[in-house]
Amino acid sequence: MTVPLPELLAPAGNLEKLKIAILYGADAVYVAGPQFSLRAGTDNFSNVELQAGVAFAHEHDAKVYVTLNAFLHDAELEKLPDYVEFLDSAGVDAVIASDPGVIHLIQEHSSLPIHLSTQASCLNQFAAKLWKNLGVRRVVLGREVSIEQAGLIRKNAGIEVELFIHGSMCMSYSGNCTISNYTAARDSNRGGCVQSCRFSYSIWERSKQREEGMPPLHADVSFMSSKDLRGLELIPHFVEAQITSLKIEGRMKSNLYVATTVLAYSKALECFKKGRDVSEQKLWELSQELEKISHRQYTDASLLTPAGPDSIYAYSDRTGKHNSSYEIAGTVLEVFPEEYITLLVQNPFNRQNFLEVLTFDGQMIVLPAKEMKDVHHQPISAAQPNRIVLLPCVDNIRPLNLARKPIPPEDQVQFGE
C-alpha cells in the first residue's frame, strides 16, 4: 500500500509570492488579509488580490488558507463576520485560527474548514480531540511536538495534523511571547511582534553589580534567538508518520527564499511518489540548496528529540546579517522563445557575472550576463535595481522564474559558528 504524501504548505506574503510558491511546487499556500492575522508587517492581500490568488491557485490544483490567528477584542470581533462571509464566497479552502471566539464566529457565518493555529498550543491527543469535537478539521501542532508524537496525535485523535518543517523559530512556547509588548509596546499575539528575542543584550550577574558600575559578564550578545528550523533530511520520518501537511515558515521572507525552499522540499517529496524511496545522499544534496539562502544556523529543533541549548543562535554581531552565499538578481517577466527574456533587476550585476535561473522543474540554468541589453536592445555593462534588462533566451525559462547570483566569498557574512 502506498503511504499518502504530506501536503507542502508554503508562505505567501503577497500575490507575487503566492504565484511563485505554487509554480515552484507548493500544494497549498497560507496568506493573510489586512486584519486579524499575526503578520501585520507583510504586504498582505486586499480582497481583490485574494480573489485573484484563489483563482490562480485553483487553476493550478493548489489550495489557499487564510490566517485569522490573532487574539481579538470585542471591538475587532464586530468586524469579523463580514470578512469571514467574504472569504467563504471567494472560495478560500480553509482558515487558520486560534481564538475560540474567532472560531465560533467563523462557524456561525461560514462553512469554511478551520485549521487550529500553532498559537493555540495543541500538544497532545486529548487537546486535539477537544478541538475536533469543536469543529476543527486540522491542528497545526506546536513546535515542541516531535514527528513521532505528531503521528500518534493524528492516529489517536483521528484529525489532520500539520507540522512546521522549515524557517524561523520563536524562542517562546508555541509563540506565546510578551517581550515585544514591553520593549516596543507592540503585542506579539496581535500581529505586532518586533522580534525582541533577536536583539543583542548585556548580561549582569545581579542588579547590584550594574548599579555599582561594574562591566557586564557578556555585552552585546543574543542569548534568546533560536536557530532556524530545517527538517528536509527528516522527510522520511514525516512520511512514515503520515503527517498531513509540512509547513514552511516565512510570509515576510523574500521571493528567493520562497522559491528555493519550496523547490527543495517539493523535489524531496517527489522522490516518494509511486512508492520510490529516497536516498540520504539525495536529501543531503537538496539540503545544500537551503544553505544558499539567507538564514541563521540550522537546527532540527524538537522534530526528533527535545530542543536543547545547542538550538540557540548565540552571537555578538549587531549587523543583523545572516549566512548566505547567493542573492536574488531578478525576476523573469517575459519570455520570447529563441530570442530573449526580460528580467526585472532586483540586485545589481555586471557583464562579468554569471546568473543562475531556477526553473520550476528544478533545473539550474547558468546564464552569462555578458550579452545583456537595455529595453532599447543596446548593449550595457551593468544592470541596476528596478530596471528591465534583456538576456538571451534559453529553453525551459518561464515567467516568474527567479535568477540568483553568487555573493563573492569576501562579501559573505559567516558568524555564530
The answer to the question of residue 237 being in a domain is yes
Whether 246 and 364 share a structural domain: no
Whether 56 and 186 share a structural domain: no
The answer to the question of residue 317 being in a domain is no
CA–CA gap between residue 406 and residue 371 (Å, rounded) = 18
Whether 303 and 213 share a structural domain: no
Q: Which helix (H) or strand (E) holds 331?
A: strand 326-336
The confidence score (pLDDT) of residue 410 equals 56
- State how far the alpha carbon of 270 is from the alpha carbons of 21, 235, 263, in Å: 16, 11, 10
180 within 8 A of 192, measured Cβ to Cβ: yes
Whether 379 and 250 share a structural domain: no
Query: What total of structural domains would you count in the chain?
Result: 3
The answer to the question of residue 206 being in a domain is yes
Domain CATH for 365: 2.40.30.10
The residue from 191, 221, 251 where one domain ends is 221
Pairing of strands 364-368, 340-345: unpaired
Whether 249 and 167 share a structural domain: yes
Cα end-to-end distance, the chain, whole Å? 44
Whether 206 and 69 share a structural domain: no
The answer to the question of residue 44 being in a domain is yes
Q: What is the CA angle 412-416-417, rounded to 5?
A: 90
Structural domain containing residue 271: 7-171+228-309
Whether 27 and 88 share a structural domain: yes
The answer to the question of residue 315 being in a domain is no
Reduced to 3 states (helix: H, G, I; strand: E, B; else coil), residue 11 is strand
Whether 293 and 260 share a structural domain: yes
261 within 8 A of 293, measured Cβ to Cβ: yes
The confidence score (pLDDT) of residue 38 equals 62
The answer to the question of residue 416 being in a domain is no
Whether 146 and 243 share a structural domain: yes
For the chain, 417 residues long, give each residue's pLDDT as a single digit of tens. Answer: 466 899 999 999 999 999 999 999 999 999 999 877 665 555 689 999 999 999 999 999 999 999 998 888 888 889 899 999 999 999 999 999 999 999 999 999 999 999 999 989 999 999 999 999 999 999 999 989 999 999 999 999 999 999 999 998 877 777 677 777 777 777 666 666 777 777 777 776 666 666 666 776 666 666 778 889 999 999 999 999 999 999 999 988 999 999 999 999 999 998 887 566 677 888 888 999 999 998 888 999 999 998 887 888 765 444 444 577 899 999 999 999 999 999 999 999 999 999 999 999 999 999 999 999 999 999 999 999 999 999 999 999 999 999 999 987 655 554 443
Helix axes of 47-59 and 15-23: crossing angle, nearest 10 degrees = 10
